[in-house]
Amino acid sequence: MNKKYILAIDQGTTSSRAMLFTHNGQVAGVAQREFGQIFPQPGWVEHNPRDIMTSVLTTITEVMNNTQVDASEIAGIGITNQRETTVVWDKTSGQPIYNAIVWQSRQTRGICDRLKADGHDDMVRSKTGLLIDAYFSGTKVSWILDHVEGARERATRGELLFGTIDSWLIWNLTGGKAHVTDYTNASRTL
């Protein structure tokens, strides 16, 4: 078949959307699904990573069915996502070891405060171009490794994978064959 469509996946903070575009940029179809937010404590925001994946797969299926476009007609897939949201998962089973910690969550503020108190501001900024802030993924990974029983040891043994939402989606969409990101997402991890 002739590859004449681009599938765009927009995985946002409160919903996922799939859009099909024709070869000349016209919208052929759109589907959107919301998913739940989790607020374990004031200032904390989390998502169930499986709910994110389900919402993405549902929107892809819906837009493909509604437009009657066959997968063989898709020339490429683009992903836009909530970049600083962090997922850690078992690289064999694909199961997340904790909820995704969302970009606006402040639960890693204590880690950030310690890094600042220890004088790491200038070093972090010179190496990353970013300020020490709970917004970025680095402290979220540290929090998960410190608060999920056995996680740090499992990470040391190479049993876990980390990613922003794009990595989580691609890993799942490829059946665990690709653990990748792009530089725009990687640049936001701290």
| pLDDT for 1 | 58
Going from N- to C-terminal start, the domains of the chain cover 5-186
- pLDDT > 70: what percent of the chain? 99
| pLDDT for 8 | 98
Give the 3-state secondary structure of the chain.
Answer: CCCCEEEEEEECCCEEEEEEEECCCCEEEEEEEECCCECCCCCCCEECHHHHHHHHHHHHHHHHHHHCCCHHHEEEEEEEECCCCEEEEECCCCCECCCEECCCCCCCHHHHHHHHHCCCHHHHHHHHCCCCCCCCHHHHHHHHHHHCCCHHHHHHCCCEEEEEHHHHHHHHHCCCCCCCCCHHHHCCCC
Average pLDDT on 33-60 reads 98
- pLDDT > 90: what percent of the chain? 94
Phi, psi of 112 (to 5 degrees): -60, -45
Average pLDDT, the chain: 96
| pLDDT for 14 | 97
pLDDT tens digits, one per residue of 126-175: 999 999 999 999 999 999 999 999 999 999 999 999 999 999 999 999 99
Residue 120: pLDDT over 90: yes
Of 8, 86, 1, the residue nearest 49 (C-alpha): 86
C-alpha span between 102 and 97 (Å, rounded): 15
C-alpha span between 128 and 130 (Å, rounded): 5
Residue 27: pLDDT over 90: yes
| pLDDT for 75 | 96
| pLDDT for 145 | 98
Architecture of domain 5-186: 2-Layer Sandwich (3.30)
Question: How many Cα atoms occupy the beta-carbon half-sphere of 170 within 13 Å?
Answer: 20
Q: Which two tokens stand for residue 92?
A: 């064999």
| pLDDT for 2 | 79
pLDDT tens digits, one per residue of 53-84: 999 999 999 999 999 999 999 999 999 999 89
